[in-house]
Structure 1
Amino acid sequence: MSKFVVVSKYSFPLDANIAKASLDSEGIPALIADEHTVNMQWLYSNAMGGVRLFVPEEFETEAKAILDINFSEDVESAFDEKPEQCSKCSSGNIINFTKGKKPAFLLFIFLGFPLFFYKHGKKCLDCDFFKET
């Protein structure tokens, strides 16, 4: 039976579980210690040394290398998208807008039943162009 060593410590159990999942996906067995204690009394986390992530001794260097990988740029590039532009004036000053909402509300107040004739879309605040979505 191999000896287990601590490869990382975390303040929150969620972070430890994410790290454990990363190691599991690479085929490295991992164990989490003190997860439930910190969940019940999170103020004890620093006093106990946090939530500890253990791996067998023979996987220590590989596990530390995997946990040191920084995925920040990958996450940022996944969410990079072009800002939406107005198709009429090419302005980027676009908002979500519901056209005809006020008259529909007034009709509901006066007639007592709704008449839904409004449209959802995008509106340019510079040229007032409305595009239905």
Structure 2
Amino acid sequence: METIARFEVPEQAHLFRGWLGSRDIAATVLDEHVVQLFWHYSQAIGGVRVVVADEDAERAKTEFEAYRETLRRKPEEIPQAKVWPIVLVASLVFGFPLILFGRRPGR
């Protein structure tokens, strides 16, 4: 087993393990429970480790660089949908009859 990456918190390690799993590389997270119980020992023990089998080590190192590059990229901007005209028309079409013929008090 070879250590591919070290992280400060288990959540980051599990995200990277999921990244490797999606690329058919089996990985294991080690020392996560020690860091969760004794967070102040995280730096002393080297953080939370992600390890893979020796035969997958080179591919996993390449994927780690791709993972880090993906995290550095800025998020893509999602264009806003312009649905307000549809909502306005639907509100008028369905809401106006309810205002005119709605339930009257006392009936």
Superposition TM-score, scaled by structure 2 size: 0.67
Q: How does 1:112-127 map to 2 (within 5 A)?
A: none
1:74 is displaced (CA, Å) by 5.9
- Out of 21, 39, 42, the position equivalent to 1:42 is 39
Runs of 5+ in structure 1 lacking a partner? 84-133
- Alignment-derived partner of residue 6 in structure 2: 9
RMSD value over aligned CA atoms? Answer: 2.4
Runs of 5+ in structure 2 lacking a partner? 81-107
Identity of aligned residues (%): 28
Per residue, is there more helix in 1 or in 2? 2
Give the match's secondary structure for 1:76: coil
**Larger relative contact order (Cα-Cα within 8 Å, sequence gap ≥ 6):** 2
Q: How does 1:1-133 map to 2 (within 5 A)?
A: 4-69=1-66, 70-72=69-71, 76-77=75-76, 80-81=77-78
Instruction: Count residues with an aligned counterpart.
Output: 81
Per residue, is there more strand in 1 or in 2? 1
1:86-130 deviation digits (Å, cap 9, x = unpaired): xxxxxxxxxxxxxxxxxxxxxxxxxxxxxxxxxxxxxxxxxxxxx
Within 1, Cα distance between the matches of 2:72 and 2:8? 24
Letter in 1 for 2:52: V
1:29-66 deviation digits (Å, cap 9, x = unpaired): 11111001101111110000110111000101100111
1:72 is displaced (CA, Å) by 3.9
Superposition TM-score, scaled by structure 1 size: 0.54
